[in-house]
Structure 1
Amino acid sequence: MDDRAFRNAMGQFVTGVTVITTNVGDETHGMTANAFLSVSLNPKLVLVSIGEKAKMLQKIKDAGHYAVNFLAEDQQEISMLFAGQIKDGRSVDFEWLNGMPVIPGAIGRVTCQVVNEYVVGDHTFFVGEVTGIELNDGAPLIYFQGKYRELASMNENETLLI
């Protein structure tokens, strides 16, 4: 199987869009990622997967902490900026949660202290113990088949069948 077939298959899985942020000294760094998952309730652990070629890999190693920002449906441009798809010198005025930079307007923001890291294939998994949570109203930005999407909302009279 070739890389393209694998990527196409993985694209069939709907994911949320996050921006992972950290700070090293006085510098703030961020990258768009959809490789994020909740690991454990007790202790509260989450995981992000960072590619071996990503600049963010060494930044998280150096910092020992990171924040996960769950983007809202109107934050596609923020995702594109941190994915390196917009390169026109724009900047983000970060907010701060537990001493870590977070994205304004994100529907969820979680700060984490790195407790483990694992090299798996061409990525490193950073397991973080959650140190702070902040939630905001809004719908998520999602990604499916290589495109940004919005979650279709149900009105209050609809019934979701499971």
Structure 2
Amino acid sequence: MSEQTVSPDDWRSVMGYFASGVTVVTGWDGNEPVGTTVSAFCSVSLTPPLLLVCLDHKNPALAPIKAKGHFGINILGADGMDVAMRFATPMETNRFEGFDFVHDETGAPRLSGAPVFIDCALHDSYTVGDHEILIGRGLTVAKDLTSKPMIYHQGNFL
């Protein structure tokens, strides 16, 4: 019995039907901050506090984050469209230029205006398909849960 393979276009459309939150994953490449918009994010465990985030192997933020062993998760609010778009642009642009962020003691850039920030140590990583699954252990959180979250659905930020 042969297995059928779903086309990348069909896979993207059916996976896009599942609504998710929107995050910006941040880290450091030497003295330069790096960050990228990501919707492939979820909780893994309460004890210990673990989460996962998936980054494409071609994403320039992946290698510095893995090398440093530390990253931040900035969960965006509904008013974060400009932030989501800024960090989804090609890396040739300086995503942090003119943008306000806090350089926490541990090193992960915390974006101003993000309602939730999770400071993470890299717990493990797995190469799967065209992505890397990063497992982060939550070290600290900063939260202001008064705003509604940003949602990503069928290729649109809502």
Shorter-normalised TM range: 0.7 to 0.9
Partner of 2:137: 129
Q: Counterpart of 2:62 in 1: which secondary structure?
A: helix
Q: Within 1, Cα distance between the matches of 2:14 and 2:81? A: 23
Structure 1 residue ranges (4+ consecutive) displaced by more than 4 angstroms after TM superposition = 85-90
Number of residue pairs aligned between Structure 1 and Structure 2: 149
**TM-score scaled by length of structure 1:** 0.86
Q: Counterpart of 2:34 in 1: which secondary structure?
A: strand
Q: What stretches of structure 1 of length at least 5 have no aligned partner?
A: 150-162
> Does structure 1 residue 4 correspond to structure 2 residue 12?
no
Q: What is the RMSD computed on CA atoms of the aligned residues?
A: 1.8
Matches within 5 A, 1:1-162: 1-84=6-89, 91=97, 92-99=99-106, 100-136=108-144, 137-149=146-158
Q: What stretches of structure 2 of length at least 5 have no aligned partner?
A: 1-5
Change over 3 Å in CA distance of 1:86–1:142 after alignment to 2: farther
Amino acid across the alignment from 2:121: Q
Partner of 2:3: none
For the Cα contact (< 8 Å) 1:97–1:132, is it kept in 2? no
State the percentage of identical aligned residues.
36
Q: Within 2, Cα distance between the matches of 1:50 and 1:88? A: 19
